[in-house]
Amino acid sequence: MANRPGALVISLDFELHWGVRDHVTRQDPRYGRLGETREAVTALLEVFVARSVRATWATVGFLFASTRDELEAYEPRERPAYAHAELDPYAEMIGMDEERDPQHLAGSLVELIAASPGQEVGSHTFSHYYCLEPGQSEATFRSDLASAQAIARGRGLRLTSLVLPRNQWNPAYAAAVLDQGFRCIRGPQRSWAHQARGNSEQTRLHRAARLAESYAGVSAPPTTGWDEVLLPMGLCDVPASAFLRPHSPARKRLEPLQLARLRRGIRHAAQHGRIFHLWWHPHNFAQHRVENFELLEQVLDEFDRLAVAEGMQSLAMADVATTISRSSSSW
């Protein structure tokens, strides 16, 4: 696979309340802002389509539903019984339909993403499933992924890319992922601060290390070689290179450092024929929209320059898996 052009892969974890419900209650002002996340989804789609940027929208399965009845029809038979009860999504009260409960139902947005050129609807599991938490098993994980595929099929979609919530990747689950029709995951970033671990093992030190990494600018973010994507089981892993950290007034002076670091990483991928995988959540763009979209446009300007100069490509996760399977079948 020598001389393959470099690629910018973008994935978004689309989850609305499902991804934050253990720490954002309905009284939290951030809960109210989830409505603005829906506008951020539309605005992101406009930017991607206008600039011919491809992206994977790793969407929580619950969000494929437009009504509570639709969601309940797809609930898995076997569910996780997390030791940390606050993680149990099935305890959540859900409104009748998308209009009355825009924080938990988003079928219309899934349709919009699927209809937008170059956009891949992927999975963030059915229930924002935590693969490394005590109280769940491979059987409940398989059941969860089966529900994710079933509700997607209800909208005429087949999911092949998977992003694990909180980046909790359990390599022992690779066969389950493949059996449920997935070909590609976004594994954890390959550095100490990002190693996959359960919630209780996350320390302030790990979080501080990730924050420092975004701004420190000492080393370029990691990139992935095309020959490193295919895992022995036959599953593709396109690990995260960097999280697009949203604008924060308190860290304003540090933000040029983040942009410089991202540019350096993307340039490295372009010049060495490697993959740079950038990810964030649409809810990160709900606030400070002007600043966040400006940052994104600057990142995409760098990509455009490299597309011309180095032939860099914009790919969704499924495109990477397709490229890999084409080249491995020709061996």
Minimum distance between the CB of residue 14 and Zn ion, rounded to whole angstroms?
9
Closest CB 120 distance from Zn ion, rounded Å: 17
Q: Is 13 in the site for Zn ion (CB under 5 A)?
A: yes
Closer residue to Zn ion in complex, CB, 19/107: 19
Least distance CB 163 / Zn ion (angstroms): 7
Q: How far is the CB of 306 from Zn ion (least distance, A)?
A: 29
Span interacting with Zn ion, options 15-23, 108-116, 141-149, 292-300, rule CB under 5 A: 15-23
CA nearest to 14, candidates 79, 102, 110: 110
The SS3 of residue 303 is helix
Nearer to Zn ion, 163 or 307 (CB): 163
- In the numeric block, the tokens 């399965």 are attached to 61
Q: Which is nearer to Zn ion, 123 or 140 (CB)?
A: 123
| Residue 144 binding Zn ion, by CB under 5 A | no
Is 15 a binding residue for Zn ion by CB under 5 A? The answer is yes
Residue whose CB is less far from Zn ion, 165 or 246: 165
Nearer to Zn ion, 165 or 273 (CB): 165
Q: Is 19 in the site for Zn ion (CB under 5 A)?
A: yes
Could you tell me whether strands 224-225 and 274-280 are parallel, antiparallel, or unpaired per DSSP bridges? antiparallel
- The least CB distance from residue 149 to Zn ion, in Å, is 18
Of the pair 40, 312, the CB lying nearest Zn ion is at 40
Identify which range of 6-14, 104-112, 231-239, 264-272 contacts Zn ion by CB under 5 A: 6-14
Nearest residue to 20 (alpha-carbon basis) of 11, 7, 29: 29
Contact 55, 118 (CB under 8 A): yes
HSE-CB for 316 with a 13 A CA cutoff: 23
DSSP of 52-87 = T--EEEEE-GGGG-SBHHHHHHT--SS----SSGGG
Stretch that binds Zn ion, among 19-27, 80-88, 146-154, 283-291 (CB under 5 A): 19-27
| Smallest gap from residue 66 Cβ to Zn ion (A) | 21
Shortest distance in whole angstroms from residue 229 CB to Zn ion: 22
The H or E element that residue 266 is part of is helix 255-272
Report how far residue 28's alpha carbon sits from residue 181's, in angstroms, rounded to the nearest whole number: 37
Residues in 148-207 at the binding interface with Zn ion, rule: CB under 5 A: 165
Give the Cα-Cα-Cα angle 290, 256, 195 (nearest 5 degrees): 95
**7's tokens:** 């690629």
Question: Which stretch in 5-13, 45-53, 99-107, 199-207 sits in contact with Zn ion by CB under 5 A?
Answer: 5-13
Q: What is the DSSP string of 131-171?
A: TTSTT--HHHHHHHHHHHHHHHHTTT----EEE-GGG---G
Q: Which is nearer to Zn ion, 189 or 223 (CB)?
A: 189
Strand partners, 278: 10, 242
Least Cβ distance, residue 125 to Zn ion (angstroms)? 9
- Give the residues lining the site for Zn ion (CB under 5 A): 13, 15, 19, 165
